[in-house]
Structure 1
Amino acid sequence: MKIRYFSDLHLELLKTNQIERFIRQIPPGLDEICVLAGDIGNPYEPNYNTFIKFISKNFKKSFIIAGNHEYYNKKKNMTQIIKFLTTKFENFDNISFLNNNYEIYENHCFIGTTLWSQITNPYHEINDVYQIKDFNYIKYNRLNTICVNFLNDAISMNPDMDFVIITHHVPSNDLIDIEYKSPMLAPYNQWFYCHLNDFIEKNKDKIKCWIYGHTHTPGTNLIHDVHILCNPIGYPEQHSRADFLKTIEFL
């Protein structure tokens, strides 16, 4: 099994000619699975549709989750956006939208959840609070609890499976880049990670890899011998990364 993985494309910030140029940099993977770990773009805009059609045509199977930016919408709430995304992907027979659900594919269980995080100090806010309709840190915490419970349930309901876990938020504080751990920035990290080291250790023999996003810092890490991977494309000014084509392969 070969997986090509991306996150944080932020297609909502690209002009039409930029999205076309970006797509041309991605070679087809007709024998590969594509994993998109959130913050792909605004699902209501043409850029998003252009990219999704490209993915469907050029990969044998794709799994996609929503990040926090998919919900940046002053007119539509999260429930409406999830319904819109679910309906959108029903039109593709080789793309699965995973929102606290999982799918068995080629003898592996692909689990997808945005994950969110636990906010202990609400006085250090980020754009999510202002850009997501009817949102606050209390809902953030509630969503995180739902997502973590879902992860535990998905594992327990499939005891004989190997897992590929896809989250948008970072699954461990250990993965936060050192530059963001300064006294000025550290209080904001609570919005980026959910510390699941114990969960990873408990299930290390079952998890083939864990793909995440949210941070724009690429990472190829091991936690308790589990591959924890991040391949963010980032904002347009970050698109010059020459090594943005990342894959992982296993039996």
Structure 2
Amino acid sequence: MSFSSIFSEKRHSKESSSSISSGHSILPKSLVDYIHSVTNHSPGYPTVPFQVVSDLHLELTDTVHGNRGYFEYNIAQNCPYLILAGDIGTLNQPDNYLAFLRRHCEAFEKVFLVLGNHEFYGTSRREGLANLKLFFEDPVIAEKLVVLNRNRYDIPGTKLTILGCTLQSEIRPEQRGLIESKLNDFRVIKDWKVDDHNAEHSIDIAWLRDQIEEIAETEPDRRVFVATHHAPSFKKTSAPQHEDSPLNSAFCTGILEGGAFRGWKGKDMIKAWVFGHTHWCCDVMISGVRVVSNQRGYWYENTVRADYKEDLVLEV
């Protein structure tokens, strides 16, 4: 859900497994073809390319077009790795969602999926995750899909680690009543209340901090790439008119500008952070971290972003 859609005229409303690489494998040829050395890393640290998209909202396309969005929307491969940063579709349509994921797993060497809030529309988190777990009975999914639900993945043959989670935001007490009344999440996700949302935020934050500090302690020469659905900053991650919205704590978490982040051991290892959820595309520097989003948006509201590029490649 975007900020603008909440206040606009009403229209159509509407734990997984992943493989952990040892980091010692030989690079696949297709990845070598896309790797380039850069001057802002130590010698021997090549960059790794990722295609990044989010907020495709295929479930809404299907509302009008007869369940064709999952089957007809294709992301052309421009590099070996694809990151889907949440709100791709809904897990209460498992056959449709699986078809989309399988097609793209066949095209890419790895597909990294972050779970957004819309993934659980029409179901509960428990039921949605159970459906997602069944996807791994498909051999293509089992080989190619990595679900970043508080998971770490080390890119083989490199010193790059991906850390991913939803990063539920922390809804502020003074905004709670308005957010509860405006956001569909608390009506269409079963057994999901603000207290549940905020509890997941605390777990996500603690997991992310612990992972980064552990890497800093045990593998200080690594680089870290973070992928979340909710935004890691209130600044520059949504349309300027929404930065001070009374709903902003449902969309963003001020990690990168927060005092606590400055105390995280290993924070300087974070080289890039991708996110979704705000329906705003950006490529900005915040607290020394490159923050990138490439969000399609709601097609039926004519808010598909003109700056959304399905072939966008981020080198980390």
Give the TM-score taking structure 2 as reference length.
0.71
Which sits farther off after the overlay, 171-180 or 61-70?
A: 171-180
Aligned residues: 242
Query: Match of 1:225, as an amino acid?
Result: G
Distance 2:307 2:241 in 1: 22
| Percent sequence identity over aligned pairs | 29
| Paired amino acid for 2:197 | Y
Q: Which amino acid aligns with 2:73?
A: F
Residue number among 163, 174, 178 corresponding to 1:124 in the alignment: 178
Kindly indicate which of the two structures has a greater share of residues assigned to strand.
1
Return the alpha-carbon distance in structure 2 between the equivalents of residues 189 and 224 of structure 1. Answer: 20
Shift of the 242–56 alpha-carbon distance from structure 1 to 2, 3 Å rule, reads same
Unpaired segments of 5 or more residues in structure 2?
1-47
Within 5 Å, which residues of 2 pair with 1:68-79? Answer: 68-73=117-122, 76-79=123-126
Query: CA distance change for structure 1 residues 222 and 200 in 2, over 3 Å: closer, same or farther?
Result: farther
Which position in structure 1 is the counterpart of 2:163? Answer: 111
Question: Is 2:290 aligned against 1:224?
Answer: no
What is the one-letter code of the residue matched to 2:177?
Y
Does 1:48 find its partner at 2:97? yes
CA distance in 2, matches of 1:179, 1:243: 19
Q: Provide the C-alpha distance between the structure 1 equivalents of 2:170 and 2:292, rounded to a whole number of angstroms.
A: 21
Residue 315 of structure 2 is matched in structure 1 by: 249
Determine if contact 1:11/1:47 at 8 Å carries over to the other structure: no
Aligned equivalent of 2:130, options 73, 79, 83: 83
Most deviating of 80-89 and 237-246: 237-246
* Secondary structure of the corresponding residue to residue 5 of structure 1: strand
Q: Deviations over 1:160-185 (max 9, x none)?
A: 22111111001001123212146xxx
Question: Take 1:90 and 1:102, find their aligned partners in 2: how far apart are those partners?
Answer: 21
3-state DSSP class of the match of 1:158?
A: helix
Residue 80 of structure 2 aligns to a residue in which SS? strand
Aligned CA distance change for structure 1 residues 208 and 235 (closer, same or farther; 3 Å)? same
In structure 2, distance between residues paired with 1:166 and 1:242: 20
Partners of 1:4 and 1:248 within 8 A in 2 = yes
Moved more, 170-179 or 143-152: 170-179
In the alignment, the residues of structure 2 paired with residue 94 and residue 181 of structure 1 have an alpha-carbon distance, to the nearest angstrom, of 37
Q: Is the 8 A contact 2:71 2:96 kept in 1?
A: no
Larger radius of gyration: 2
Alignment CA distance shift 1:49-1:205 (3 Å): same
Distance in 1, Cα, partners of 2:69 & 2:145:
24
Partners of 2:87 and 2:116 within 8 A in 1: yes
Q: Take 1:79 and 1:148, find their aligned partners in 2: how far apart are those partners?
A: 20
* Cα distance between partner residues in 2 of 1:80 and 1:65: 17
Any gaps of 5 or more consecutive residues in structure 1?
none
Runs of 4+ that moved beyond 6 A: none
- What amino acid does structure 2 have at the position aligned with 1:95? L
Residue 66 in structure 1 maps to residue 115 in structure 2:
yes
How far apart are residue 190 of structure 1 and its match? 0.9
- Local SS of the residue matching 2:247: helix
Change (3 A) 1:90 1:232: farther
- Contact 1:37 / 1:212 at 8 angstroms: preserved in 2? yes
Return the offset for 1:240: 6.9
For the aligned residue pairs, the C-alpha RMSD in angstroms reads 2.0
- Given the two structures, how large is their TM-score scaled by the length of structure 1? 0.88
Contact 2:168 2:198 in 1 (8 A): yes
- Cα distance 1:242–1:143, how it changes in 2: closer, same or farther (>3 A)? closer
Q: Is residue 4 from structure 1 mapped to residue 51 from structure 2 by the alignment?
A: yes
